[in-house]
Amino acid sequence: MKVNLKRSALMLYAAVFSAGAFAHAGHDHEHWTSGVMHALFYASLVGCAAACGFAAYKYFNAKKRSAK
């Protein structure tokens, strides 16, 4: 699989710096579901980090085993 670096950089730039990404006016921190929603958001970030870490672990261990 060939990765097109220019296209990937352009997509990342568009996602991070687009006006649509900053169009969110905010939300109510006083609402009763605010705490739950923030907890779910941070839990999803932890889950993504754990999945990436596990994938990296599997990748590097598979590389070590194939080198033997």
Token pair, residue 30, equals 């006083």
How many helices (H) and strands (E) would you count in the chain?
2, 0
Q: How confident is the model at residue 11, as a pLDDT?
A: 86
Confidence bin at 54 (pLDDT 50/70/90): very high
For residues 34 and 27, the answer to whether their CB atoms sit within 8 Å is yes
CA atoms within 13 A on the CB side of 19: 0
- Name the residue with higher pLDDT: 21 or 39: 39
Per-residue pLDDT, averaged over 18-44, amounts to 81
Residue 14: name the closest of 22, 25, 24 by CA: 22
Provide the whole-model pTM. 0.56
